[in-house]
Amino acid sequence: MNDAVALRVRSGILEQTGATAAVLQSDTMDHYRTFHMLERLLHAPPKLLHQLIFQIPPSRQALLIERYYAFDEAFVREVLGKKLSKGTKKDLDDISTKTGITLKSCRRQFDNFKRVFKVVEEMRGSLVDNIQQHFLLSDRLARDYAAIVFFANNRFETGKKKLQYLSFGDFAFCAELMIQNWTLGAVDSQVDDMDVDLDKEFLQDLKELKVLVADKDLLDLHKSLVCTALRGKLGVFSEMEANFKNLSRGLVNVAAKLTHNKDVRDLFVDLVEKFVEPCRSDHWPLNDVRLFLNQYSASVHSLDGFRHQALWDRYMGTLRGCLLRLYHD
Amino acid sequence: MPGKLKVKIVAGRHLPVMDRASDLTDAFVEVKFGNTTFKTDVYLKSLNPQWNSEWFKFEVDDEDLQDEPLQITVLDHDTYSANDAIGKVYIDIDPLLYSEAATVISGWFPIYDTIHGIRGEINVVVKVDLFNDLNRFRQSSCGVKFFCTTSIPKCYRAVIIHGFVEELVVNEDPEYQWIDRIRTPRASNEARQRLISLMSGELQRKIGLKVLEMRGNAVVGYLQCFDLEGESGLVVRAIGTACTLDKLSSPAAFLPACNSPSKDMKEIPFNEDPNPNTHSSGPSTPLKNQTYSFSPSKSYSRQSSSSDTDLSLTPKTAPYPQSQGIFLYPSSPSLSCGSLHLKKSCLLLSESSLSPHHSSLVSPVLRKSVSFSDELFLAASGMGSGSAGKEGGPFKALLRQQTQSALEQREFPFFTLTAFPPGFLVHVGGVVSARSVKLLDRIHNPDEPETRDAWWAEIRQEIKSHAKALGCHAVVGYSESTSICEEVCILSASGTAAVLNPRFLQDGTVESCLEQRLEENLPAGCGFCHIPYDELNMPFPAHLTYCYNCRKQKVPDVLFTTIDLPIDATVIGKGCLIQARLCRLKKKAQAEANATAISNLLPFMEYEVHTQLMNKLKLKGMNALFGLRIQITVGENMLMGLASATGVYLAALPLPGGIQIAGKTPNDGSYEQHVSHMQKKINDTIAKNKELYEINPPEISEEIIGSPIPEPRQRSRLLRSQSESSDEVTELDLSHGKKDAFVLEIDDTDAMEDVHSLLTDVPPPSGFYSCNTEIMPGINNWTSEIQMFTSVRVIRLSSLNLTNQALNKNFNDLCENLLKSLYFKLRSMIPCCLCHVNFTVSLPEDELIQVTVTAVAITFDKNQALQTTKTQVEKSLQRASTDNEELLQFPLELCSDSLPSHPFPPAKEHLESASSNSGIPAAQRATSVDYSSFADRCSSWIELIKLKAQTIRRGSIKTTVTVEKASPMNEGNFRNRSAPPCANSTVGVVKMTPLSFIPGAKITKYLGIINMFFIRETTSLREEGGVSGFLHAFVAEVFAMVRAHVAALGGNAVVSYIMKQCVFMENPNKNQAQCLINVSGDAVVFVHESELEVVSSQPPTANCQSSCPGGDVTT
């Protein structure tokens, strides 16, 4: 309260309007009271729409909701992939000191995440749509929340030092791709938790991809196909040729490991370790990475001995998108 | 069995969780009317139940329909224990009883509980089938329309203004019944709400009966009040003005009142004949065009004839045997049968010389009717007295005689209206008021409220005689109020003595011709300033001068009135809010001793308030007060007086004199210096104010010298020079034209204080204007952006040895601070004007002052020239502002919980109060605002406010979203999508305004009166955010409920909204508080001008069509 008054005093409002500090104080109090009454409604935005106590024009309502559900990138990066539990809530003061965001703000953002999570967790239908419907958020914000919910549910590790260079936007992008392709909802839109949980069967099937690296012939064939196609097009061709087996092994092994929950959590760590870092140490330009990944996934189709083309596409299609997004400094 | 009430319960939503185990509710609804109750099925386990009930039918008398509210109770079904009440909805079905108002009430109503506030909403549909009952002995008065608006409602035309109606009913207050000791607070609150609802229904019905008796069909300026007399009972009383109103059929006929009200009035009768009954004779239309060229005498004759055709053709009233009613009810049998003769006699009369004797020449059969027309005739000539100059004298006398005789037929020639059709008001005398102190005794028999009736009758009689002393036969802008403390009650009544044009009291259809002529003959807008009393026999000492406008009639030097500024008055510059504030200590006493003490104090208070007003008026450089409202409140140990009015500079009145300060001890040098210093300060202030309010009267003095009538001018100078003060100021020095210098003697510290307080009045920040009348004089270019707000402030005085001065200062500061914070909150609306600022003071307990302010802020367009008729630019502008306009009714209330009342930190408290005391030694000043109880609750919002900082800085609460739109996403897109559905979305926008009109919009339909009473109680005051939080939430809830009711009636605005009562009581030790709020207003449908263009662009054939079926388009 006093902070807010001080803030407003600093903004020079008193000089502008010639008001006294007491007036400002009481005015600020009024706002707090009103917001306090509004906050209850903001917890369930559809109520805000129907309530009769405040007559707020739709545009202002939307603004209120949008602002209330807005979050700080720095904060969300800290809690992304963590369980939205009491334990995490206790750590909020650490996050607050670390990010410089006030504890109250952290609490609000955390509570918002948790509230959204609770509501849509067990719901059927598209995750983004559900969030939009129940919280009346804008498309963009709803997508962000979908990513947060998805990460929280799958508990992806994002806090490792290696991953610090990644922004929330990077993760949100990956989350969206994964929701689109790897969840239950991607195959069947009528199941519960469709967008929140990964498709277990699909993860199980991913083991089949192991043949790509386990079978020496296939691996060689794959490598030669990629190399032939990319010869002369890649600035880092020699490095690629030298590293191909390692990279391929890395990518396929990540896939094969996804059956275990623990490894699912480490997905991003693995991807960075097994693919992003080696490429980066060889100074691959982004374009070369793109060319490589395109060719790498496409040439599998020409491998006659490989029977899991669809599975490969579902896996690699998403992974390619993610890797390209993750590949930066 | 004259009525069938049908109710359907559709659904509920957002119900509270009543069953902790399941987090759900098993809700059902009880629908009760009178003694009949129906129940819906229980809708299991849902917070959004869909009952979709059958139609519950109640077959009831229309008497009950008027009295009883429909009571809807939502309950939670409990198998094992008693069902828990969730809350209630009371629906007043009165609006359904008018033939032309709403036909159905349907919508979402907030479910209200007196302990918990609003708990979800319920969707209800209510219909009434009314069978007509023509029984002349009936007790009901269905069909009489009620309006809170204190002017003729915008889509009606006054045919006859009958006059004053009043009624009061009394009952025992349930709060003080023995049973209250054993029942729950909720039950007692509900009993009270129900009783008051019942009583106001009964009161309205009884008043309606009186109106029907007077042959009226409506009550305008209806003001209903509750007196909570505590032990001795509950009084509900109402006053109003009975009228016969005609609905104007075509809404296109109106121009917005805000822009050119006078034009509006003019055009109505011209463009179409809304009522073929009254105007079927038709000569009126050609006549009007001709009147311009007519000589006065000729126009009289035309007028008389046209008026009597109207009379003869008004068949709507049945034969009425009582001949004494002839003045009031033109359609008496003798008249209607003898219309032809009458016409002849009239013409005859007007052709002959102006002598009332002529009436005797006519055959005795027509005696009555002739005298009637005679009077009409004379009235007309009286009106023309302006041009007749000095010869107007005898006419005036005659006029007075005649109209007096007309008005004396009535017990009380009072009118609660504050704005009148042009030409209605002839002269204004001044404010008349009466107060009386009474000791309350228990009302023994509720069916015989004689004592209360007698009290009021006494006061009204006094007012009447005051008016008579001023040479006036009527009182306009009349209002009554009470202030109760323990068993002492002050009854007050006030109004403005006036001479009225009797025509309107009989038949308003002449108004068009009359008004035309008026505008031709009378110099615009000074007529009402002319004194109605005899110059030689003045009721009070006043400096009379010749009118500065027409220079023919005498005018007083200042004019105080309780009415709104007449639309045709010429005003120079802008107006401003002027307040006089006063506190007087009194000893605590019991019963009679107390009453005596109060009555002894009253005259002094009145005098002081008057002096303060006068001084402040002079200081502002103005010469007239409108909308004066003096409120005297009685408390345990003090009396408070608060007078609010709007000061203006009337062109017709003389320049206000300055204020002179005179010391009593002139030999003291330093003292002298001090005095002259003060004098200089005052003069500076006056000059500054004149500039601020743009008061630069035209320098008539020099220009007029060559004009044909210099004689009166000289005289007036003569008159002035007598009173002129010693220092010679040239006529041209207008900054300080010292005509009648007002001398202030500062002989003691008391007076010194007064002068200081005069100077401490801070003008509102630039861009703000304020007034307590409907619209700000001098501003015409309103935009459609309005914001209504209510603010309640409670302040606790520390009880130790208070002095009058300290008290005055506290009170003054309180009011000033309140205004300041309003200005601050509304800064985003600059330039704007606070209109209809209504202060209410109450002293709920010892040392507790509560001030409630309701007002509306209207923005106006600075760049538009005054008086512009709608240019294209403005239209587009208006439309733009309509789009992002909102009525986010944050009740801008705040209360300062005072320290002593705060039980928490006693140590700190002493410290603080001590420090404040040391700051201002003598004064035990009111302790400052304390928010500690609220701090932690709000803390979670600090960060939010930061987020909002942008919004807040831009305008805290309101509008001007336009720029902001760009920031979040594609707002423009959003808006496009949301704009159309918002019209038919579940939450329709309902505007609320204390004004009788909506700027930039036209009211197309009146749906009925809204009169609601709520009680809210809490036993967890601290948890709800202290007094401030509690009141804030309650006021918001009241607004929500009012809006919901209006929306359910199909309306989109409440006009003439007023919070008549806001009684707050707290018991901080018990963590309890209770608040009662009574609000009223008129539910209306309005159309924005921008939308209306489309409608009105259709050819006028539409108008013809709609006017054909008797002006009743509303079905």
State pLDDT tens for residues B1013-1033: 999 998 888 887 788 888 888
- 8 Å CB contact of B975 and A3: no
Q: β-pairing, B624-634 with B559-560?
A: parallel
Model confidence band, residue A117 (pLDDT cutoffs 50, 70, 90): confident
Q: Give the mean pLDDT of B816-842.
A: 81
Q: What's the rounded Cα separation, in Å, for the pair B160 and B508?
A: 5
Q: Across the interface, which of A20, A52, A67 has its CB nearest the CB of B108?
A: A52
The pLDDT, as a whole number, for residue B933 is 29
State pLDDT tens for residues A167-192: 888 888 888 888 888 877 666 656 65
Q: β-pairing, B218-228 with B145-146?
A: parallel
State pLDDT tens for residues B659-681: 666 655 555 566 677 777 777 77
> Over 60: is that where the pLDDT of B816 sits?
yes
> Over 60: is that where the pLDDT of B1084 sits?
yes
Number of cross-chain residue pairs from A and B with Cβ atoms under 8 Å apart: 197
Q: What's the rounded Cα separation, in Å, for the pair B429 and B465?
A: 13
Q: Select from B317, B340, B330 the least CA-distant residue to B368.
A: B330
Convert B898-947 into a string of H (helix), E (strand) and C (coil).
CCCCCCCCHHHHHHHHHHHHHHCCCCCCCCCCCCHHHHHHHHCCHHHHHH
Chain B positions in Cβ-Cβ contact with residue A6 (cut-off 8 Å): none
The pLDDT, as a whole number, for residue B751 is 57
The pLDDT, as a whole number, for residue B1008 is 85
**CB-based contact, B13 to chain A, within 8 Å:** yes
- % residues pLDDT > 70 (chain B): 58
- Are A99 and B943 contacting, i.e. CB atoms less than 8 angstroms apart? no
Query: 């009966």: which residue's tokens?
Result: B209
**CB-based contact, B108 to chain A, within 8 Å:** yes
Q: What's the rounded Cα separation, in Å, for the pair A153 and A120?
A: 11
- 8 Å CB contact of A55 and B886: yes
State pLDDT tens for residues B1040-1052: 899 889 888 888 8
What is the chain A residue with the closest CA to B816? A23
Chain B positions in Cβ-Cβ contact with residue A104 (cut-off 8 Å): 939-944
Q: Which of residues 752-781 of B touch A (CB under 8 A)?
A: 765
Could you give the dihedral angle defined by the CA atoms of residues A316, A319, A320 and A326, in that order, rounded to the nearest 10 degrees? -170
Residue type, position B1028, single letter: S
- Between residues B508 and B436, the one the model is more confident about: B436
- Between residues A142 and B707, the one the model is more confident about: A142
> Over 50: is that where the pLDDT of B916 sits?
no
Q: Which of residues 823-882 of B touch A (CB under 8 A)?
A: 823-825, 827
- 8 Å CB contact of B890 and A3: no
The pLDDT, as a whole number, for residue B970 is 29
- Are B744 and B615 contacting, i.e. CB atoms less than 8 angstroms apart? yes
Burial class for A298, CB neighbours closer than 10 Å (0-12, 13-18, 19+): middle
What is the chain A residue with the closest CA to B818? A23
Q: What's the rounded Cα separation, in Å, for the pair B643 and B40?
A: 52
Q: Pick from A30, A48, A103 the residue to mutate for testing the B interface (most B CBs within 10 Å).
A: A30
Q: What's the rounded Cα separation, in Å, for the pair B629 and B495?
A: 9
Q: Give the mean pLDDT of B444-455.
A: 71
The pLDDT, as a whole number, for residue A92 is 84
Could you give the dihedral angle defined by the CA atoms of residues B304, B305, B306 and B310, in that order, rounded to the nearest 10 degrees? 100
State pLDDT tens for residues B82-141: 788 899 999 988 888 776 666 788 989 999 999 888 888 999 999 888 776 555 556 666
* Tokens encoding B659: 């204020």
- 8 Å CB contact of B1032 and A37: yes
> Over 70: is that where the pLDDT of B394 sits?
no
- Positions of E strands within B664-736: none
Q: What's the rounded Cα separation, in Å, for the pair B250 and B235?
A: 41
Q: Select from B561, B572, B573 the least CA-distant residue to B529.
A: B561
- 8 Å CB contact of A52 and B1043: yes
The pLDDT, as a whole number, for residue B516 is 40
> Over 90: is that where the pLDDT of A236 sits?
no
- 8 Å CB contact of A17 and B824: yes
CA distance A161 to chain B (A): 29
The pLDDT, as a whole number, for residue B312 is 31
Inter-axis angle of helices B367-383 and B392-408, nearest 10: 130
State pLDDT tens for residues A205-227: 888 888 777 778 888 888 888 88
Other C-beta atoms within 10 Å of B176: how many? 16
Chain B positions in Cβ-Cβ contact with residue A49 (cut-off 8 Å): 987
Model confidence band, residue B534 (pLDDT cutoffs 50, 70, 90): low
- % residues pLDDT > 90 (chain B): 4
CA distances from A172 to A68, A202, B29, B1032 (A): 20, 21, 48, 42
The pLDDT, as a whole number, for residue B10 is 93
- 8 Å CB contact of A27 and B956: yes
Q: Across the interface, which of A24, A51, A58 has its CB nearest the CB of B982?
A: A58
Phi, psi (degrees; rounded to nearest 5) at B122: -135, 140
Phi, psi (degrees; rounded to nearest 5) at B871: -90, 165
Query: 């992974």: which residue's tokens?
Result: A319
- 8 Å CB contact of A22 and B928: yes
CA distance A7 to chain B (A): 8
Q: Select from B1110, B1081, B1061, B1005 the least CA-distant residue to B155.
A: B1005
Chain B positions in Cβ-Cβ contact with residue A71 (cut-off 8 Å): none
Chain A positions in Cβ-Cβ contact with residue B893 (cut-off 8 Å): 30
> Over 90: is that where the pLDDT of B598 sits?
no
- Between residues B444 and B1060, the one the model is more confident about: B1060
- 8 Å CB contact of A53 and B890: no
- 8 Å CB contact of A8 and B888: no
The pLDDT, as a whole number, for residue B1091 is 59
CA distance A58 to chain B (A): 7
> Which residues on neighbouring strands pair with residue B286, listed in sequence order?
none
Q: Across the interface, which of B935, B945, B978 has its CB nearest the CB of A58?
A: B978
State pLDDT tens for residues B790-802: 888 887 776 666 6
Q: Select from B492, B470, B379, B462 the least CA-distant residue to B426.
A: B379
* Tokens encoding B51: 């009952």
- 8 Å CB contact of B969 and A140: yes
Q: Which of residues 958-997 of B touch A (CB under 8 A)?
A: 961, 964-965, 968-969, 971, 974-975, 978-979, 981-982, 985-987, 989-990
> Over 50: is that where the pLDDT of B947 sits?
no
What is the chain A residue with the closest CA to B1026? A33
CA distance A92 to chain B (A): 14
- Between residues B411 and A203, the one the model is more confident about: A203
Q: Give the mean pLDDT of B1099-1109.
A: 30
What is the chain B residue with the closest CA to A57? B886
- 8 Å CB contact of B949 and A7: yes
The pLDDT, as a whole number, for residue B138 is 60
State pLDDT tens for residues B334-346: 333 333 333 333 3
Could you give the dihedral angle defined by the CA atoms of residues B62, B63, B66 and B72, in that order, rounded to the nearest 10 degrees? -80
CA distance A107 to chain B (A): 8
Q: Which of residues 902-961 of B touch A (CB under 8 A)?
A: 928-929, 931, 934-935, 937-949, 951-953, 956-957, 961
Q: Name B471's Cβ contacts closer than 8 Å, sequence gap at least 6.
A: B400, B429, B497, B499, B531, B532, B533, B534, B539
The pLDDT, as a whole number, for residue A80 is 83
- Positions of E strands within B623-698: 624-634, 638-650, 659-663
Q: Give the mean pLDDT of B619-638.
A: 85
Q: Give the mean pLDDT of B757-773.
A: 72
- Are B97 and B38 contacting, i.e. CB atoms less than 8 angstroms apart? no
The pLDDT, as a whole number, for residue B75 is 92
The pLDDT, as a whole number, for residue A264 is 82
Model confidence band, residue B11 (pLDDT cutoffs 50, 70, 90): very high
Mean pLDDT of chain B: 65
The pLDDT, as a whole number, for residue B304 is 32
Chain B positions in Cβ-Cβ contact with residue A101 (cut-off 8 Å): 943
Q: Give the mean pLDDT of B467-491.
A: 85
Chain A positions in Cβ-Cβ contact with residue B986 (cut-off 8 Å): 50
Q: What's the rounded Cα separation, in Å, for the pair A223 and A226?
A: 5
Q: Across the interface, which of A26, A52, A140 has its CB nearest the CB of B929?
A: A26
State pLDDT tens for residues B184-235: 888 888 888 888 888 888 888 888 888 888 888 888 889 888 888 877 788 8
Chain B positions in Cβ-Cβ contact with residue A45 (cut-off 8 Å): none
Most confident segment among A106-115, A290-299, B696-705: A106-115
- 8 Å CB contact of B931 and A29: yes
Q: Across the interface, which of A4, A50, A60 has its CB nearest the CB of B987?
A: A50
For the sheet containing B36-39, what is the strand order?
B36-39, B27-33, B70-76, B84-91, B104-113, B117-130, B3-13, B56-60
Chain A positions in Cβ-Cβ contact with residue B949 (cut-off 8 Å): 7-8, 11
State pLDDT tens for residues B165-188: 888 888 888 777 777 777 888 888
Q: Give the mean pLDDT of B30-46.
A: 90
**CB-based contact, B1025 to chain A, within 8 Å:** yes
Q: What's the rounded Cα separation, in Å, for the pair A195 and A184?
A: 6
Q: Which residues of B875-907 are buried (b: 16+ CB within 10 A; e: fewer)?
A: eebbbebbebbbbbbbbbbbbbbbbbbbeeeee
* Tokens encoding B578: 């002027």
* Tokens encoding B279: 């105007």
Other C-beta atoms within 10 Å of B17: how many? 12
Q: What's the rounded Cα separation, in Å, for the pair B982 and B506?
A: 46
Phi, psi (degrees; rounded to nearest 5) at A50: -100, -15
Helix (H) or strand (E) holding A118: helix A103-120
Q: Give the mean pLDDT of B458-471.
A: 86
Q: Select from B884, B914, B885 the least CA-distant residue to B899.
A: B914
* Tokens encoding B36: 């009949």
Q: What's the rounded Cα separation, in Å, for the pair B399 and B233?
A: 46
Mean pLDDT of chain A: 81
Q: Which of A297-311, B367-381, B636-650 has the lowest mean pLDDT?
A: B367-381
**SS3 state of residue B379:** helix
Could you give the dihedral angle defined by the CA atoms of residues B134, B136, B140 and B141, in that order, rounded to the nearest 10 degrees? 80
- Between residues A248 and B804, the one the model is more confident about: A248
Mind giving me the DSSP string for B536-563? TT-SS---EEE-TTTSSSEEES-EE-SS
- Between residues B743 and B579, the one the model is more confident about: B579
What is the chain A residue with the closest CA to B949? A8
